[in-house]
Amino acid sequence: MSNMNAVLLDNVCKSFGRLQAVDNLSVRVPAGSVYGFLGPNGAGKTTTIRMMMNIIRPDSGRIEILGDGKIEQVKARIGYMPEERGLYRKMTARKVLKYFGAIKGVSDRELVERVPRWLERVELADWVDKKVEELSRGMHQKLQFVVTVINEPELVILDEPFSGLDPLNQDLLKNIIIQMRNEGKTIIFSTHVMHEAEKLCDYILLINKGKLILDDTLKNVRSRQSAHTVSIELEGDAAFVESLPMVTAVKSEGNRLDVTLADDDTQQFLQALMQQARVKAFEVKVPSLHEIFVSLVAPSGVQGSASDAEDS
Amino acid sequence: MQRILKVAKREYIETAKTKTFIIGILMTPIIIGAIIFFTKAVSGGKAGPRPPINVAVTDLSKTLVEDIKTSFDDYNKRNPDRQFLLRSLEVQHDANSTEAQGKDKLRNGQFDVYVVLEEDIIEGPGKIRFYTYKPKPANVDAFWTIENFFRKAVENRRYEIEKIDQKLLARLRNVPLERLEIGAAGDKEKVQSQGQRIAGMMVPFFFMYLIFMGMVGTGQHMLSSIIEEKNSRIIEVLLSAVSPFQLMAGKILGLAGIGLTVMALWSAAAFAAARWQGLNVDVGSDLIVYFIIYYILGYILVSAILTGIGSVCNTIKETQSLMMPVMLIFIIPLMGWFKLVQSPNGTLARVLSFVPPVTPMVMVLRLSAGSGVWFVEIAVSILVLAVAVLIVIWAAAKIFRTGILMYGKKPGIFEILRWLRQS
């Protein structure tokens, strides 16, 4: 299981009219990992996910899900939460879950046990016989998530799962995702909010305008971006720092100084400091995903000029 | 298949719970019953009072005025509150100017009716000229009565001249006839009432109407179901479990159940009502078989068209403009059913039998009208229908697949044609 690819995309292309939504994309999602699809609005995330679910068909290229090229046959083993999501407003939470469970091939007997268990898990147990239209937006989203995982799938695909959730419920959802990963399940989720990905992902896939920009483990992504910024705290006068040869900029952050270096030789910088002052704190700043994202995407323009690709 | 059935089951249960469905299933029989009841009540009621009608006559034959006056007087005695006032407009100088004068008086409202009896009306080819000016609809019935008085007067004069005894004529004309409907050998013979004959005429219409409602009546549910899933963004959640085709098939199947429920209930109600009225309606078993074949094919055809329409629209209102052309086709058999029943093998009936959306209605009408429709025609019409079903399902599945994920602007015809070309 662990050496299998949960999802395999091979040179996949898709265009809508003149818009190239996905451009020659190849991705392997290893089983048992948490994979983040990142990109600005209109990058082609939703289109890619929809192709993985056989909701739209690629113009060219090959897609295999859970080792099978015929996606319809493995849908029962997938939990997919689309970006455009909703539920039957006139049905009760229980009936909605029973229906979606049933069309995902879960037996009635299993559903009797699963429905209350999952509702308990997302703190909706008291709402089991309430109609969907009586639920608040946050509850609605949690119920939507339970609908997605009611078939206890091997592969969970979540398109913008955190939108519409308050911080408390976001944490609830993150904990469930981590738990599922620990159970050996594969989770793919798309987001354009970077700190969510940073906390959860093993792998990062960054796309922009349908093209792959980055596809690696989170660790590699971070280490590949060389660290040029160091946060320091010194005893006494720190004015000399600015005149050191390797320093290009100094910014004061309260007691600390954020120092930008000309290269990534932080050891040499530390030595230079130690010769002139007592060092109270010295921290090489790992660039945040947000910074990486901006540095990779920004030059070509983040503005959502192609944002309609997500909708079509 | 399992999933199609699950989708169908939900579709059936949730539709059966809607108010539209419950009202619809009850209202149609109630409305029909009410129409029959009131028609009966009205036709039995007495006509109310009516203002007198002024009738002027210029009798160029100069022999009939007295007779006509007598018949008018008789009528007025019997109907004191519905008088006809007759006056004679004598010829002053010449016939033409008198007639022109009479027409003027008609125009300025002095007369309601002006009648000219031509000179050779009795023995020659002369005519009765019956003038009216902007006649009121309420008077149509009265005009008819007046016409008959004039006709009868001419007729009676002709009998006199030919020396024909009217009593003798009446006796000769009277040929008693009793309509008897026999059952099995031991059963009592029943006198066939007028109602039985009318019921016989209504059976084909009933079957046609049933097929129509089964095909089109469920359409509203299909459209609102798709629009609801589209508007509340459920479609893509559904597509996480089923393919677009399974979703479409499930919907069609579930609403077929709705259609069959409605038809079964209405048939049972109609059958019970007929029995209650003492009418004996016999339906051949082969008709039932054909009915089912035509219904299933026709239903799939129409609902596939509707899934296509529903998938490209965002609101019920938008669907209506697309529904119009579809509905127009069904008007033809609905309006022309009487003609079609009387000549089930006429050109119109034959041509319509091969126009797929109306094939089921027309064929069931023709078959239940019951005079020798060729078997070849039946077979070919089923074949044509089946081919149409396949083509429409193919096209609808493609439109559905793309359309259900489209929000916002309704796609144009060229865009839809482009979807059809895509794999």
CA distance A116 to A98: 11
CATH of the domain at A65: 3.40.50.300
Name chain B contacts of A50, Cβ cutoff 8 Å: 236, 405
Kind of pairing between the strands at A34-38 and A186-191: parallel
DSSP readout, B36-87? HHHHHHHHHSPP-----EEEEEEETTSSSHHHHHHHHHHHHHH-TTS-EEEE
pLDDT of residue B190: 65
CA distance B296 to B290: 10
CATH of the domain at A270: 3.30.70
pLDDT at A3 over 60: no
Q: Which tens digits make up the pLDDT trace of B258-313?
A: 988 888 888 888 888 777 777 766 677 778 888 889 999 999 999 999 999 999 98
Q: Which among B6, B234, B236 has CB closest to A55? A: B236
Q: Looking at the complex, report in whole angstroms how far the Cα of residue A103 sits from the nearest Cα belonging to chain B.
A: 5
pLDDT at A188 over 90: yes
Which residues, listed in sequence order, are joined to residue A208 by a DSSP beta bridge?
A211
Handedness of CA B187, B188, B189, B193 (dihedral sign): negative
Has residue A307 been placed in a domain?
A: no
Average pLDDT, integer, range A166-181 = 90
CA distance B82 to B3: 71
Asked whether the beta carbons of A30 and A201 are under 8 A apart, the reply is: no
Q: Looking at the complex, report in whole angstroms how far the Cα of residue A105 sits from the nearest Cα belonging to chain B.
A: 8
Are both A122 and A268 inside the same structural domain? no
Are both A246 and A218 inside the same structural domain? no
SS3 sequence of A168-188:
HHHHHHHHHHHHHHHCCCEEE
Handedness of CA B174, B175, B181, B187 (dihedral sign): positive
Partner-chain contact A144 B237, CB within 8 Å: yes
Are both A61 and A166 inside the same structural domain? yes
Are both A197 and A110 inside the same structural domain? yes
Q: Which of A278-292, B309-323, B338-352 has the highest mean pLDDT?
A: B309-323
b/e string for A93-106 if b means 16 or more Cβ within 10 A? bbbbbbbbbbbbeb
CA distance A35 to A33: 6
- Confidence tier at A309 by pLDDT (50, 70, 90): very low
pLDDT at B188 over 90: no
- Confidence tier at B395 by pLDDT (50, 70, 90): very high
Has residue A302 been placed in a domain?
A: no
Q: Which among B232, B242, B406 has CB closest to A103? A: B242
Are both A216 and A107 inside the same structural domain? yes
CA distance A18 to A306: 12
Are both A112 and A145 inside the same structural domain? yes
Say yes or no: B406 contacts chain A, CB-CB below 8 A.
yes
Are both A231 and A154 inside the same structural domain? no
pLDDT averaged over every residue in chain A:
85
Name chain A contacts of B20, Cβ cutoff 8 Å: none
Task: Name the percent of chain A lying above pLDDT 90.
Answer: 36
Has residue A301 been placed in a domain?
A: no
pLDDT of residue B369: 79
Are both A132 and A196 inside the same structural domain? yes
Average pLDDT, integer, range B394-403 = 89
Average pLDDT, integer, range B341-352 = 84
Residue of B nearest to A145 (CA): B237
Residues in chain A: 312
- Number of Cβ pairs closer than 8 Å across A and B? 72
Token reading at B200: 């016989």
pLDDT of residue A2: 45
Q: Could you give the ipTM of this predicted complex?
A: 0.78
* Least confident range of A83-92, B110-119, B175-184: B175-184
Domain count, chain A: 2
Give burial (CB, 10 Å; 0-12/13-18/19+) of A156.
buried
| pTM reported for the whole predicted model | 0.74
CA distance B177 to B191: 11
pLDDT of residue A98: 94
Which residues, listed in sequence order, are joined to residue A162 by a DSSP beta bridge?
none
Kind of pairing between the strands at B84-88 and B53-59: parallel
Partner-chain contact A311 B408, CB within 8 Å: yes
pLDDT of residue A311: 38
Name chain A contacts of B406, Cβ cutoff 8 Å: 312
Among the listed residues B131, B115, B233, B5, the one whose alpha carbon sits nearest the alpha carbon of residue A83: B233
The phi, psi pair for A253, rounded to 5°, reads -125, 85
Are both A277 and A255 inside the same structural domain? yes
DSSP H helix total and E strand total for chain A: 9, 13
Residue type, A156: V
Name chain A contacts of B241, Cβ cutoff 8 Å: 75-76, 100, 103-104, 151
Count of C-beta atoms within a 10 Å radius of residue A22:
28
pLDDT of residue B45: 59
Token reading at B179: 């309509």
* Least confident range of A37-51, B189-203, B357-371: B189-203
- Confidence tier at B336 by pLDDT (50, 70, 90): confident
pLDDT of residue A226: 62
Angle of the A108-121 helix axis to the A93-103 helix axis, nearest 10: 130
Q: Looking at the complex, report in whole angstroms how far the Cα of residue B24 sits from the nearest Cα belonging to chain A.
A: 20
Are both A96 and A11 inside the same structural domain? yes
Token reading at B1: 């298949």
Has residue A145 been placed in a domain?
A: yes
Segment (H or E) for A159: strand A155-159
Last residue of a domain, one of A223, A256, A274: A223
Give the contacts of B110 (CB within 8 A, at least 6 positions apart). B54, B56
Task: Name the percent of chain B lying above pLDDT 90.
Answer: 20
* Least confident range of A159-163, A223-227, A306-310, B63-67: A306-310
Q: Which tens digits make up the pLDDT trace of A267-306?
A: 888 888 888 888 888 888 777 777 777 777 765 544 433 3
Residue of A nearest to B243 (CA): A72
CATH tag for B53-165 (out of 2.50.20, 1.20.140, 1.10.10, 3.40.190): 3.40.190
Partner-chain contact B232 A80, CB within 8 Å: no
Partner-chain contact B241 A89, CB within 8 Å: no
Give burial (CB, 10 Å; 0-12/13-18/19+) of A72.
middle
Give the range of the structural domain holding residue A230, as residue numbers without chain letter: 226-286
Are both A68 and A124 inside the same structural domain? yes
Are both A213 and A267 inside the same structural domain? no
Has residue A216 been placed in a domain?
A: yes
Domain boundaries, chain B: 53-165, 196-421
